[in-house]
Structure 1
Amino acid sequence: MLTRLRKTLCAAAVAGAAGGAAAAPMTLQDYLALSGPGPDRHIAYGSAPSQFVELFKPAGQGPFPVVILIHGGCWTVHFGGIAQMRNMAGALIRNGIAVWNVEYRRVDEEGGGYPGMYQDVAAAVDLLRQEAAGHQLDLARVVAVGHSAGGHLAQWAASRHRLATDSPAYRAAPLAIPQVISLGGLADLRKEEGLIKTSCDRAMVQLTGLPSAARPDVFSDTSPAELLPAGVRTVLVTGELDTVSPVRVAQDYARRARAAGDAADVVVLPNASHYDEVAASSPAWKLVYAEIRRALALP
């Protein structure tokens, strides 16, 4: 992993030197200003306003590989969300990759938090199986990509086949997701409780619910780290200058995943913040896009 990390840093540094001064790292306001094309379809999976997915389809004939895209925003409605992810979606469809852009009820929406937020993500992801044939989507080539809080939820979506059947978030026969790319994700809720509080101002109870006699460990069905090993390859991508989810977070999770027997890699984006990783206009996009293509086994 360290060798790959160093190679990534050096290659990007050389590219930056060849192209002149490096672009300034993106700010929260830059991220909130991101936009992209409208979706080809808006598909509801529930009656609440936030229970829907957006389908973006490339031109031409499929079957198309699919990115399941899950936005971040600190699990709250106040820091953007699905609209910003359209920036990535636009770049992906131009390159022949379909996008399943997931919206969900966040902690400050009615029915959000635990377990509603997790039930939403599960329902949205599993809906892809129902819609795939009609839209020429290739379920043999799927990767989940999540940013920040969405990194947590993308990793959880790929690991939820490990949930106990008595969990309120359990669904039988979930869609198999063999690979996840977590962009500045915060997926070890137990270990990162303090960081989540300082970075996102989230009390852990908002994400996990309260313990009960039947569920004494609130992390058991909410934290992907507790669901290891999941048989999933995880690529943890993080900005060198990320202060919301620092490089150390990705490294710690990768060590834990590998110790449990799962494959995990860390990619550090030079001179990048928490927001460059989701912007197709950012110099970091080339590295993020390369990981997506690798996960989908595209040349």
Structure 2
Amino acid sequence: MPGPSRSPTPPAGDSSTPGSSLGRYEPRSVLTRSSSLPDLVLRWADHDDGMADVWLPARGFGTAPAPAPLLYALHGGFWGSEFDRRHLRPLARALCDQGWVVVVPEYARAAGRHMAAGLAAPWPLVVDDLRMLRHRVPQLLAEVAPGRITDHRPVLVGHSAGGQLALWWALDQTADTEGADAGTGVAGPPRHVLGLAPVADMTRARAEHLGDGAVEALLGSNPCAGLVEAADPAARMRAGEWPAECTIIVLHGADDHAVPLVHSTDLGGELSALDVRPLPEVEHFALIDPLSSAWPYVFAALPPAI
């Protein structure tokens, strides 16, 4: 049975059409907009990309900090070095204000560390980074911010290429989650994934040369047999893989010219468990912009921060 692929009803208190206010500002302005600095910067690995910014919910005057659920936000940029985690600061601040402990990690990208390591493409380092940071970050948080995390099973939000990474993370079953516990910093598998215009179908993105050949830059121009499929969340979900006890929601703007909406709606039509929500009059960057009229739909697609 085809999966849901529909324009959602506006969240309570919002009667606007998604994107209806986008003409008042430059959508890409979120990429350079100033925002509050993170509360913590964690070093989870001894290389240039081994950093993660952390926002902690504010506590009331004279009160102990209340624990909050953990959310990772994975940035996009077609896995290239042009963009880094800093452009997600407005999103991170907005989600933190809603009660989340927000972690925005860096990761290996094209034109980066893989060349020094003698690798043809960065994907092996990206895999290593994701597996390492999902273990080290909770451990570090337990050390430097004890008692601030309520749930060992995080929520993942990924935009564009970061959406591919979030979906891949959820599908990756190599993590040792035995004894997962927020207090000890032992990570658990994600419980909820929100893809914002994700590059979920890597095979199709490669064939259509999205991002001026971004998939080739990530995986190599002549990847070994099975590599594209292993990195491709859409291929893996079509083959029957699905993360245990995990909700996956995809928001995608109809005016997205970077990652076409049809990539998500076609996939949603094939997978009954995938909740795809097209947003009319929304382009690629509005989904990470708390000032856009698409933002209430982003917030509504997350579980309660309790």
By the TM > 0.5 criterion, same fold? yes
**Residues 93, 9 of structure 1: alpha-carbon distance in 2 compared, 3 angstrom cutoff:** closer
Describe the SS at the equivalent of 1:101: strand
Aligned length: 275
* CA-to-aligned-CA distance 1:220-242 (integer Å, 9 cap, x gap): 43112233222332111111211
Unaligned stretches of 5+ residues in structure 2: 60-64, 115-120, 178-186
Tell me, yes or no, if structure 1 residue 130 matches structure 2 residue 133: no
Shift of residue 109, structure 1, vs aligned partner: 0.6
Scaled by the length of structure 2, the TM-score of the pair is 0.80
In the alignment, the residues of structure 1 paired with residue 14 and residue 151 of structure 2 have an alpha-carbon distance, to the nearest angstrom, of: 36
Higher helix share: 1
Trace 1:108-147 onto structure 2 (pairs within 5 A): 108-111=111-114, 113-134=122-143, 135=145, 136-140=148-152, 142-147=154-159
Trace 1:188-203 onto structure 2 (pairs within 5 A): 188-195=201-208, 197=209, 199-202=210-213
Tell me which residue corresponds to 2:86.
83
Tell me, yes or no, if structure 1 residue 35 matches structure 2 residue 45: no
* CA-to-aligned-CA distance 1:177-221 (integer Å, 9 cap, x gap): 1221010111221132133x2x31125343224544xxx211243
**Residues 3, 25 of structure 1: alpha-carbon distance in 2 compared, 3 angstrom cutoff:** farther
Greater shift, 274-283 or 199-208, is seen at: 199-208
Tell me, yes or no, if structure 1 residue 247 matches structure 2 residue 247: no
**Residues 62, 127 of structure 1: alpha-carbon distance in 2 compared, 3 angstrom cutoff:** farther
**Residues 132, 218 of structure 1: alpha-carbon distance in 2 compared, 3 angstrom cutoff:** same
Tell me, yes or no, if structure 1 residue 62 matches structure 2 residue 66: yes
Instruction: Quote the sequence identity (%).
Output: 24
1:265 paired residue among 275, 279, 301: 275
Tell me which residue corresponds to 1:206.
217
Describe the SS at the equivalent of 1:5: coil
Contact preservation (8 Å) 1:36, 1:89? no
Shift of residue 123, structure 1, vs aligned partner: 1.4
In the alignment, the residues of structure 1 paired with residue 153 and residue 24 of structure 2 have an alpha-carbon distance, to the nearest angstrom, of: 32
Contact preservation (8 Å) 1:12, 1:270? no
Q: What is the letter of the counterpart of residue 102 of structure 2?
A: V
In the alignment, the residues of structure 2 paired with residue 5 and residue 171 of structure 1 have an alpha-carbon distance, to the nearest angstrom, of: 34
Scaled by the length of structure 1, the TM-score of the pair is 0.81
Tell me, yes or no, if structure 1 residue 218 matches structure 2 residue 227: yes
* CA-to-aligned-CA distance 1:122-176 (integer Å, 9 cap, x gap): 2122223313434211234521001001001111111111xxxxxxxx5544740
Give runs of ≥4 in structure 1 deviating > 6 Å: 1-4, 9-13
Contact preservation (8 Å) 1:160, 1:227? no
Tell me which residue corresponds to 2:180.
none
Shift of residue 116, structure 1, vs aligned partner: 0.5
Shift of residue 11, structure 1, vs aligned partner: 8.7
Shift of residue 62, structure 1, vs aligned partner: 2.7
